């Protein structure tokens, strides 16, 4: 009998175990829709934005999802700036 395999750990992958929804919620909390739309100018961020509409678009559009994931990785690796 085989033992169930453990999910492979990826300590150097900041996206491991993080859902696209969590990524979007983090970015919206950190930047807001307006700044997100400036950084990644896609329609679902600029006009009547919502997490759900963005998820639908990003799941179908690889190039846009890649840009969002890159921004998330950059944001997570950056140390937060202290607010006065």
The structural domains of the chain, ordered by start, are 20-75 (1.10.720.30)
pLDDT band for position 84 (cuts 50, 70, 90)? very low
Is pTM beyond 0.85? Reply is no
Could you tell me the two tokens for 57? 């678009």
pLDDT tens, 16-57?
888 999 999 999 999 999 999 999 999 999 999 999 999 999
Which long-range contacts does 75-80 make (Cβ < 8 Å, 24+ apart)? 75/26, 75/27, 75/30, 75/31, 76/14, 76/26, 77/14
Mean pLDDT lowest among 5-14, 20-29, 63-72, 74-83: 5-14
Count the alpha carbons within 13 Å of 27 in the hemisphere toward its beta carbon.
Answer: 31
């Amino acid at each position: 009998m085989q033992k169930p395999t453990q999910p492979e750990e990826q300590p150097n992958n900041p996206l491991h175990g993080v859902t696209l929804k969590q990524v979007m919620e983090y970015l919206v909390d950190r930047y807001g829709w307006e700044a997100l739309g400036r950084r990644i100018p896609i329609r679902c961020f600029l006009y009547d934005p919502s997490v759900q509409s963005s998820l639908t678009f990003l799941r179908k559009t690889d190039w846009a999802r890649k840009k969002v994931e890159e921004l998330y990785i950059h944001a997570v690796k950056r140390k937060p700036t202290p607010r006065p």
